[in-house]
Structure 1
Amino acid sequence: MTAYRFYTATSLDGFIATPDDDLGWLLSQPIDQDGPMSYAEFIAGIGAIVMGSSTYAWILEHGTSGTEEGGDGWDYEQPAFVLSHRALEPAAASVRIVSGPVEALRGQLEEAAGDGDVWIVGGGDLAAQFARAGMLDEIIVSIAPVTLGAGKPLFTGAFDLDLVEHARNRAFLCARYRVLGPRQ
């Protein structure tokens, strides 16, 4: 069965980016690429990815490494779905620009994911949309030892979670939560 997973990082005060979408605070933190809850371990189980148009634009500008120099084009091998109401150009043949409620995409996402899981990339609002639709199984978050004071929130909904796993990866406190459901 396909799992829907939100894998991200946050500042200690709950922001995934500054108000102007800067991630410099995150990229300056030491992390062991082979350590607990590493990206390589996570991405190995992902069959499809889904993101909003703001995350898509940021990745196209900066690459997945997040540097100002950008990347070498589209770095993801998995089929990607970009939710947008705007007319966007796909960066690769594996990119599909889609619109509508996330629950209407379930069949397409699961077919594209095959035996893998679906990664909700970036956007706390997008992850919350999946949670409200009953389509978010896990939140895996790396908490950086920095506060931003303002920015793009980690999550935009009230949900109960169950801590399943935690570890330290150099500067980061990493935690994996099971999404139990909306707060009553």
Structure 2
Amino acid sequence: MPRVIFYTATTLNGFLADDADSLDWLFAAPGGEGGDADFRAFLERIGVLVQGSSTYEWVLEHDDLIAHPEKWPGHYGRRPTFVFSGRELPAVEGADLRFVRGDVRDAWPAIAEGAGERDVWVVGGGDLAGQFADAGLLDEIVVSIAPATLPSGKPLLPRRIGADRLTLTSVRQTGAFAELTYAVTGAVR
């Protein structure tokens, strides 16, 4: 059974994106562009990606993927990507995209099948990760805290998940970032 991991970065004051859903603040931080050996090792364990519509649209726009679909594998490889949205969204030519509406529990069998023996990466956003937590499907949160703040934006996890469900399993410094890993209890597959 694949594990579900919310692997993300946040500002020091807990925002994933600014009010315009931009991640420019992240790429301005030293090391924020990712791609280091630890990230590549994490990505090797991933069989499926899951993201919300705001994250998907930001990636589309940021890298002009409709005009340059050849850039998609540089982001995520050839892994299936489930995009949760209540709207019609454009698809990147050649990408294995699966647009989903509704509850994460309803989509879980297809997501798990797509992942096979590998893990599921909830790329973003925080509300989608919260939906996986609400459904008892979130196993781990890995959050890198960036040396940046925003006056407002999209919160890391707009849910109440108490200390009774979160166990700190790892703390490390990676460049200018502090990385915290929490096991999430209460998964009910």
TM-score bracket relative to the smaller structure: 0.7 to 0.9
Deviations 1:138-178 (A, max 9, x none): 00000011111210110011113111011001100001111
Q: How does 1:4-153 map to 2 (within 5 A)?
A: 4-31=4-31, 33-34=35-36, 38-63=38-63, 72-75=70-73, 76=76, 77-91=78-92, 92-153=94-155
| Structure 1 runs not aligned, ≥5 long | 65-69
Partner of 1:159: helix, strand, or coil?
Answer: coil
CA shift at 1:22, angstroms?
A: 2.2
CA shift at 1:24, angstroms?
A: 2.0
Q: Percent identity?
A: 47
Deviations 1:2-36 (A, max 9, x none): 1000000000100011111222221122227436x
CA contact (8 A) 2:168 2:181 kept: yes
Q: Distance in 2 between matches of 1:145 and 1:93?
A: 33
The one-letter amino acid paired with 2:84 is L
Backbone CA RMSD of aligned residues? 2.2
| 2:177 corresponds to which of 168, 172, 177 | 172
Return the structure number with greater helix share.
Answer: 2
TM-score after normalising by structure 1: 0.88
Partner of 2:137: helix, strand, or coil?
Answer: coil
Return the structure number with greater strand share.
Answer: 1
CA shift at 1:52, angstroms?
A: 1.0
Deviations 1:55-86 (A, max 9, x none): 1111111139xxxxx88442321101111111
Q: Distance in 1 between matches of 2:169 and 2:150?
A: 27
* Greater Cα shift, 167-176 or 86-95: 86-95
Aligned residues: 176
Q: Distance in 2 between matches of 1:71 and 1:168?
A: 34
| Structure 2 runs not aligned, ≥5 long | none
CA contact (8 A) 1:140 1:174 kept: yes
Q: Distance in 2 between matches of 1:26 and 1:78?
A: 24
